Structure 1
Amino acid sequence: MRFATDTGGTFTDLVVEDDDGSITLHKASTVPSDPVAGVLEALAIAAEARGLTLRTLLGRAESFIHGTTHAINAIITGRAARTGLIVSAGHRDILMFREGGRTEPFNHTIPYPKPYISRELTFEVPERVLADGTILTALDEAAVIETLEQMRVQGMKAVAVVLLWSTVHPAHELRIGELIEAHLPGVPYSLSHAVNATLREFRRASSAAIDASLKPLMTRYLGSLSERLKSEGFDGKVMVLTSAGGMVEAAEVAGSPIKIINSGPSMAPVAGQHYAEREGGWRTAIVADTGGTTYDISLVSDGRIPMTRDLWIGEPYRGHLAGYPSVDVKSVGAGGGSIASLDAAGLLHVGPDSAGSTPGPACYGRGGTRPTVTDACMVLGYLDPDYFLGGTMQLDAPASFAAIQRDIAGRLGTSVEEAAWSILDLATENMVQAIQELTVNQGIDAAEAVLIGGGGAAGLNSVFIARRLGCRRLLIPETGAAMSAAGAMISDIASEFAATAHTSTAAFDRVRVNAAIGQLRDQADGFAARTGLAGTTEFIAEARYEGQAWDIDVPLLSARFDTDADVADFRAAFDTMHEQIFTIRDEASEVELIGLRARVRCPARPDAPFLLKSVALEDGPARTRRVYFAAEGWVETPVLRWDAVPADTDFAGPALIESPFTTVVVDPPARFRRSTAGALLIEA
C-alpha cells in the first residue's frame, strides 16, 4: 500500500494505492498554519472509509509520497531563514545586478527589484580562481573566519557560498564549507557548484541563496512530517515530490530544498502525459489543473513533459529566479476560491485574490463573506450543497446568493444568476487567455490538442474553456479531482546532475566532455544504487550557436564523443532542435557546448493498471436539477453519478456528472462518453 498527497491552497488531496493496484481518492481541508495536520486528516478520512484506525492503515503502507508548497510559500511570505552570502571579492552585487531583462522596459515607475539576500548580508572574501584553474589570489582563510564571526554575531541561520569559476574549480568553495563547519557548527550552508553547476553567476548565486535559506525550515518541516507519521504508526519511506517531476527521499530533500520549489504543480503534467497516452494516444495535450487558488497549465508535446530552467518565484524579472530545472508550469490567479469584486468604475474582476480554505467561499460557512467562483457555481445550480465532498461537507447555498447579490448583482442592477454567470464567464476568459499565451508562444494549435482538466473545480467550466479555445476534445480523468496526487503515485524516483564543460565544434575537446559525462554517470549510478532500483539515465547538452546569449537543451543520442562522427551527430541534433524552437538553423556558425546534465529515473511502481476503485451504488430514481446556462437560461438537467454512466456509450448534453470530489458540467451543445478505464471524454 502506498499514499500520495498534494497540499494545495484549499484542499489536501490524498491518493491511496492498495496492493492490488486499485486506488481511491480522499480530500481534507488544508490547514495553512500546520500543513501536516491537513495531511493527517486526509489519512484519517481514508482510514475511516476502510473501517480501520489511522494506526492500522499507516502500518500497512510501504511509502508515503508528499507534494508541498511549504518551500515556495516561505519565500513568498518572507519566512525563509536569515541567510548570509559569501562571494569573491569585488562581486558583492551578483544578486542585485541580475541578468537584465524587464517585463515593462519603459515603465520607469516600477522600482528595481530587491535582491534575494540584501547587500548588507553579502560578504566579500579575498580569493580568485581563473577559468583555467590558475589561482590568481589564494583564499584568505583568516578573512573567511572573520566573516563567519560577523555572521554569528548577526544571527545568520544559513550561509550561501558563490565564488567565481567554482563550477569547474571548486576547491575554494569546498574549503569555505569546511571552515563553516568548524566555526559555525550546526549552521547549514550551500555551495553554489554543488547546488546548480551552471556557468551563469546570477543563476548559480540565486539557486544557492534560495537553497541555503530554506534548509532550516524544510529540515524542521520534513522532520516533523516524518516524526508525526511515525508516531501514528507509519514505518515506511517518506518521499517528497521535486520540481523536476520525480520524487526523492525526504532526507535528501532536506539537504537540497531547492529541488522542491514547484513540488506539487509539477505532477499534473506527469498525470496528463499518462492519461493522454492511455485514452487516445494524443501526442499534444494541454494540461490544466484548477485548484482553489491557482490555475496551473502546461503543455505535453510529442509525449514529452516540458522542462525549464527559468522558474521564477513571483513575476519574471521582478521575482526571484530559482534557476533549477523544473517542469514548465504556468500559474494564474484563477480557481474555485478566486474572489469576485467590482472596481471604482463598476468593472468586474475575478482573482487573483483567493478565499483559500480559511475562511473559504461564502458557501463554506467558515466566516467567508466575499463571493467567489465556487459561490457563482452554487448559484448557477452546478453544485449540490448536500453532496459536496461526497456529502461530508454541507454547503450554505443561501450564503452564496447573499454574497453575490450584495457585492455584485445589487451594484450592477442585474439578477443574481446573471451576475453569477458573469463571474464564471470572466474566470473562464482568464483561463483561456493563459492557455492561449502558452500555446501561441510554442506554436501549438489548440484545435489539434486535447485539453485535460484536473483539480476539484475543473469540471465546472472546462467545457466552456475547450469551446473558446477551439479545442473539441476534453478529457477529465477519473482521478482528475486529485490529479497532482495521482501524478505523484505514477512518478519515478528521479534526480538530475549537472556539470560545466565548455567547448566548441570548431575545436571539440572530446576528452573534457567525456570526463564530464563520466562524472555525471557516476553520480547518476550512485543515486540509482541508493534507491535500490534499476535506473535509466538521459544525457542533455546545453548548447548555442557562437555569439548567442542563451542556450537550448539538446538530448544526446550517444553518451560518448569518441569520433568526429559523434560530434557531427551532436551538431545535427542541435541544428534540428534550434529549427524546431526558432524555425531557423545556422549551419554556417559553430556550436558551443556550455554544460551537460544527466537525468536519472528509477521506476517506483510496476507497469501495471492504475485504476480508480469503483464505488458501490444503490439504485435510485433518476434525478434532475435546474441549471443556468447563459444561452438557454434555466434548464432542467439530468444529474448522473460518475460511476453509473455506462462505458463507451455516447450521451448528449446537458448533464451534470457527479463524483464525491468533483462535478462536471456538460452544457446542451456538448456530447460525452465514459471510457472503459473510467475517464470522461467530452466533445465541446
Structure 2
Amino acid sequence: MRFAVDTGGTFTDLVVEDDAGELHMFKASTTPQDPIRGVIDSLQAAADGFGTSLADLLGRGSMLIHGTTHAINAIITGNTARTAFLTTAGHPDVLVLREGGRTEPFNYTVAYPEPYIPRSLTWEVPERLLSDGKVYAALDEDAVRASLKEMAGQGVEAIAVCLIWSIVNPAHELRVGELIEEALPGIPYTLSHRLNPSLREYRRASSAALDASLKPLMGAYMRNLTGRLKEAGFSGRTLVVTSQAGVIDADHAAEAPIHLINSGPSLAPVAGRYFARVDEKADTAVIADTGGTTYDVSLVRKGSIPWTRETWIGTPYRGHMTGFPSVDVKSIGAGGGSIAWVDEGGLLHVGPQSAGAMPGPVCYGRGGEKPTLTDASLVLGYIDPGFFLGGTMKLETEKARAAIDRDVAAPLGMSVEEAAAAIVEVATENMVQAINDITVAQGIDPAEGTLIGGGGAAGLNSVLIARRLGCPSLVIPEVGAGLSAAGALMSDLSNQYAKAKFAHTGAFDTDGVNAVLADLAAQAKAFIDGPGKGSIEQHITYVAEARYPHQVWEIEVPLRKDRFEGEADIRALVADFHAQHEEIFAISDPDAEVEVIGWTAVVRCKIRPQEGGSLKHDEAAVALPDTHDREVFFPDTGKVKAKVRRFDDLKPGESVAGPAIIESSFTTVVVNPGATAVRRPSGSLSIDPFH
C-alpha cells in the first residue's frame, strides 16, 4: 500500500494505492499552524474510509510521498533561519545588484528590493580564483575564522558560501566548509559549487542563500514528519516531492531543501501528461490545477514537461531567483477560496487574497466574512450544499448569499445571482491570462492542446476557460481533485547532477567534456545503487546548456549519447541545438557554431510498476440517487434546470449534454449549455466545450 499526500493552502489531498492497485482519494482541511497535523488528519480519514485504525492502515504502507508548500511559505513569510553570507572580498553586493531588470522600467517610485540576506550579515573572504581555476590570491584562513567568530556573536543559524569561480576550482569553498565545522559545529551551511555549479554568480549565490536559510526549518520539519508518522504506526519509506517533478528521500531533502520550493505544484503535469495521452491521445496539454488558494498552470510540450531556471519567488526582479531548475509553473492567487471585492472605482476583483483553510469561504460557517469563488458557485447552484466533500461538510447557502449581496451585488447594483456570475467570469479571465502567460508568451497556441483540469475547484469554470482559449477538448480526471497527489504516485525517484565546463563546437575539448560526462555518470550510477536500489527501471539522460556565441541565455539540449566519440557526435549536438532553438524561438542560424557552458545528468528510477490506476468509490456514496435536476444560473440563460449526475455512475462511453452538473465526493463539474461530456475508460470526463 502506498500513500501520496499533497498539502495545499486549503485542503490536504491524499491518494491511497491499495495492494490491488486501485486508488482511493481522501481530503482533510490543511492546518497552516501545523501542516503535519493535516497530513495525519487525511490519513485518519483514509483509515475511517477503510474501516480500520490509523495504526493498522499505516502499518500496511510501504511508501508515503509528500508534496509540501512548507518551504515556499517559510520564504514568503520570512520564517527562515538567520543566515550569513560568505563571499569573495570585493563582491559583497552580489545579492543586492542581482541581474538587473525592472518589471516597470519607468516607475521610479518603486523602492529597490532588499537582498535575501542583508548586508549586515554579509562577510567578505580574502581569496580569489581565476576563471581557469588558478589561485590569484590564497584563502586567508585567519580572516575566515575571525568572521565565523563574529557570526557566532550575532546569532547566525545557517551560512551560505559563494566564492568566485568555485565551480572551476572548489578548493577554497571546501576549506571554508571545514573551517565552519571546526568553529561552529552543528551550524548548517551550503557550498554553492556543490548545490548549483552554474556560471552566473547571482543565481549561484541566491540558490545557496535560499538553501542554507531553509536547512534548520526543513530539517526539523522532515524529522518531525518522519517521527510523527512512525509514532502513528508507519514504518515504510518517506519520500518528498521535488521542484523537478520527481521524489527524493526525506533525509536527502533536508540536506538540500531548495529542491522543495516548488514541491506542491510540480507533479500536476506528471499526472496531466498521463491523462492527456490516455484520454485524448495528445502530447501537448495545458495543466490547470485549481486549488483553494492558488491557480497553478503548467505545460506538457510534445510529451515532455518544460523546466525553467528563471524561477522567481515573488515578482520577477523584485523577488528572489532560486537559480535552480524546476518545472515551469505559473501560479496566481485565484482558487476556490479567492476573495471577491469591489474597489473604490467600482471594479470587481477576485483574489489574490484568499480565505484559505481557516476560516475559509463564508459558506463553510467557520467565521469567514468575505465572499469567495466557492460562495459564488454555491449561490449559482453549481455546488450541492448537502454533498460537499461527499456530505461530510454542510455548506450554508444563505450566509454566502448575504456576503455576496453586501460586498458585490449592492455596490454594483446587481442581483445576487448576477453578482455571483460576475465573480466566476472575473476569476475565469484571471485564469485565462495566467495560461496565456505560459503558452502564448512562449510561442504555444493553447487551441492546439488539451486542457487538463485538476484541483477540487477545477470543474466550476473549466468549460468557460477552454472556450476562451479555443481548446478543442477539456479533460477532468476522476482523480483530478487530487491531481498533484496522483502525480506523486506516478513519479520517479530522481536526482540531477551538474557541472560547469565551457566548450565550443568549433574547437571542441572532447577529452575534457568526456571527463565531465563520466564524472556525472558515476554520480548518477551511485544514486541508482543507493537510493534507487531495488527500483524497477533506471534511466540516465544527459543535457547540455548551450547557446549561440555571444548570446546571453542558454537552452537545454538533450544529448544522444553519454560521451563524444568523434566529429559526428559534435555535429549531432549542433544540429539538435539548431532544431531546439527553432522550436522555441522560431529562428535558428544553421551555419553557426555552438557554445556549451554546462552539462547535466538526470537520473530517474521507476518505483511503481504501472502509471495510472482506477479510482475505487465509497459504496455508501454511490447509493445516493444517480439522476435528478437542480436549478442553476448561467449568465446567458438565467435560471435553468440542469441534470445532476454522479461522476462514478457514468458508464464508459456515456455522454451528458449541458446544461448539467456532474459531481463526486471531491469535485463538481459544470457542463455549460452547448457543451458535452463523455466518460472515458480511464474514468476521466472528456468535455467538448463547443458541442
Match of 2:671, as an amino acid? Answer: V
- Equivalent in the alignment of 2:368: 368
Number of the residue aligned with 1:581:
584
The residue identity in structure 1 corresponding to 2:363 is C
2:61 maps to what in 1? 61
Report the counterpart of residue 471 of structure 1 in structure 2: 471
What is the one-letter code of the residue matched to 2:567?
D
1:650 maps to 2:655: yes
Q: 1:555 aligns with which of 558, 567, 573?
A: 558
Q: Which runs of 5+ in 2 are unaligned?
A: none
Q: Quote the residue 1:192 is aligned against.
A: 192
- Whichever residue aligns with residue 538 of structure 1, its letter is T
Is contact 1:21-1:609 (8 Å) kept? no
Q: Which runs of 4+ in 1 moved over 4 A?
A: none
Contact 2:626 2:649 in 1 (8 A): no
Distance 1:297 1:244 in 2: 15
Within a 5 Å distance, the mapping from 1:14-93 to structure 2 comes to 14-93=14-93
Deviation at 1:621, TM superposition (A): 6.8
CA distance in 1, matches of 2:624, 2:600: 57
Q: Quote the Cα distance in structure 1 between the aligned partners of 2:500 and 2:245.
A: 23
Distance, in Å, in 2 between the alignment partners of 1:587 and 1:458 is: 44
Provide the C-alpha distance between the structure 1 equivalents of 2:112 and 2:3, rounded to a whole number of angstroms.
44
Residue 669 of structure 1 aligns with which residue?
Answer: 674
- In 2: Cα distance, 1:398 partner to 1:444 partner: 43
Deviation at 1:619, TM superposition (A): 6.6
Q: Do the aligned residues in 2 keep the contact of 1:82 with 1:213 (CA within 8 Å)?
A: yes
Shift of residue 649 of structure 1?
Answer: 2.2
- Whether contact under 8 Å (1:493, 1:604) holds in the other structure is yes
Q: Which AA in structure 1 matches 2:670? A: V
Shift in Å, 1:442: 2.1
Partner secondary structure for residue 612 of structure 1? coil
Whether contact under 8 Å (2:504, 2:593) holds in the other structure is yes
3-state DSSP of counterpart to 1:181: helix
**In structure 2, the residue corresponding to 1:657 is in which secondary structure?**
strand
Spell out, residue by residue over 1:215-267, the C-alpha distance to the aligned partner (whole angstroms, 9 max, x if none): 00001111101000000100011100000000000000000001110001001
Query: Is the contact between residue 490 and residue 611 of structure 2 (CA under 8 Å) also seen in structure 1?
Result: no
1:607 deviates by 2.7
- State the partner residue of 2:523: 523
Query: What is the aligned partner in structure 1 of residue 102 from structure 2?
Result: 102
- Which string of whole-angstrom CA distances, capped at 9 and with x for unpartnered residues, describes residues 648-677 of structure 1? 022211111110000000112101110112
CA deviation vs aligned residue, 1:370-429 (integer Å, no higher than 9, x gap): 000000001100111111000111111111001001111112221100000000110001
d(CA) in 2 for partners of 1:608, 1:303? 15
After superposition, give the CA deviation of every residue in 1:274-333 in whole Å (9 maximum; x if it has no partner): 111111220110100001111100111101011111111111111000111101000111
In 2, the alpha carbon distance for the partners of 1:91 and 1:16 equals 50
Distance 2:131 2:515 in 1: 17
Q: What does residue range 150-169 of structure 1 map to in structure 2 within 5 Å?
A: 150-169=150-169
Q: Using a 3 Å threshold, how does the CA distance of structure 1 residues 18 and 544 change in structure 2: closer, same or farther?
A: same
> Which letter maps to 2:546?
A
Q: Distance in 2 between matches of 1:660 and 1:32?
A: 24
Asked whether the 8 Å contact 1:653–1:667 carries over to 2, the reply is yes
Mapped pair 1:239 → 2:239:
yes
Quickly say closer, same or farther: Cα 1:622–1:125, change in 2 above 3 A: closer
Contact kept, 8 Å, 2:166 with 2:193, in 1: the verdict is yes
Pair 1:596-2:599 in alignment: yes
* SS of structure 1 residue aligned to 2:265: coil
Structure 2: how far apart are the matches of 1:382 and 1:621? 16
1:625 maps to 630
Shift in Å, 1:615:
3.6
Kept in 1: contact 2:280–2:450 (CA 8 A) = no
Q: Which residue of 2 aligns with 1:350?
A: 350
Mapped to 2, the partners of 1:248 and 1:72 lie a distance apart of 18
Q: Does 1:537 align with 2:558?
A: no
Instruction: Find the counterpart in structure 1 of residue 508 from structure 2.
Output: 508
2:665 alignment partner in structure 1: 660
Q: Distance in 2 between matches of 1:345 and 1:132?
A: 60
Q: Give the whole-Å Cα distance in 1 for the aligned partners of 2:139 and 2:413.
A: 73
Deviation of the 1:543 alpha carbon:
0.8
Q: One-letter code of the match for 1:671?
A: T
**CA distance in structure 1 between the aligned counterparts of 2:591 and 2:462, rounded to whole angstroms:** 47
Counterpart among 627, 634, 637 of residue 639 in structure 2: 634
Percent of residue pairs identical? 57
Q: Distance in 2 between matches of 1:615 and 1:307?
A: 38
What SS does the aligned partner of 1:433 have?
helix
**Mapping 1:93-492, distance limit 5 Å:** 93-492=93-492
- Counterpart secondary structure, 1:123: strand
> For the residues of structure 2 that align with 1:62 and 1:622, how far apart are their CA atoms?
39
CA distance in structure 1 between the aligned counterparts of 2:627 and 2:293, rounded to whole angstroms = 34
1:506 aligned counterpart, secondary structure = helix
User: 1:103: how far off?
Assistant: 1.2
Q: Is the 8 A contact 1:21 1:608 kept in 2?
A: no
Any conservation in 1 of the 2:218–2:254 contact (CA below 8 Å)?
A: yes
Q: Is the 8 A contact 2:627 2:646 kept in 1?
A: no
Q: In structure 1, what residue type is equivalent to 2:121?
A: L
Q: Distance in 2 between matches of 1:581 and 1:524?
A: 29
Higher alpha-carbon deviation: 48-57 or 501-510:
501-510
Answer whether contact 2:7 2:30 (CA < 8 A) is retained: yes
The C-alpha deviation readout for 1:462-482, integer Å capped at 9, x for no partner, is 011111111120000010000
Amino acid at match of 2:485: A
Q: Say which SS state the counterpart of residue 535 (structure 1) adopts.
A: strand
For 1:442 and 1:413, locate their aligned partners in 2 and report how far apart those are by CA, in whole Å. 40
Q: TM-score, normalised by structure 1?
A: 0.99
Q: Return the alpha-carbon distance in structure 1 between the equivalents of residues 280 and 528 of structure 2.
A: 32
Aligned to 2:6: 6
Distance 2:584 2:91 in 1: 35
Equivalent position of 1:570 in the other structure: 573
Separation in 2, partners of 1:126, 1:498: 27
Letter in 2 for 1:386: G
Q: Distance in 2 between matches of 1:618 and 1:579?
A: 55
Task: Provide the secondary structure at the position in 2 that maps to 1:254.
Answer: helix
CA separation in 1, counterparts of 2:122 and 2:102? 24
In 2, distance between residues paired with 1:608 and 1:667? Answer: 31
Q: Secondary structure at the match of 1:610?
A: coil
Following the alignment from structure 2 to structure 1, what is the Cα–Cα distance between the partners of residues 153 and 618? 61
Task: Tell whether 2:667 aligns with 1:680.
Answer: no
**2:223 counterpart SS class:** helix
> What is the letter of the counterpart of residue 181 of structure 1?
E
Q: Quote how far apart the aligned CAs of 1:591 are.
A: 1.1
Partner amino acid for 1:322?
T
Distance (whole Å) between structure 1 residues aligned to residue 9 and residue 223 of structure 2: 22
Q: Is the 8 A contact 2:6 2:484 kept in 1?
A: yes
- State how many pairs are aligned: 684
CA distance in 2, matches of 1:133, 1:371: 60
Which runs of 5 or more structure 1 residues have no equivalent in the other structure? none
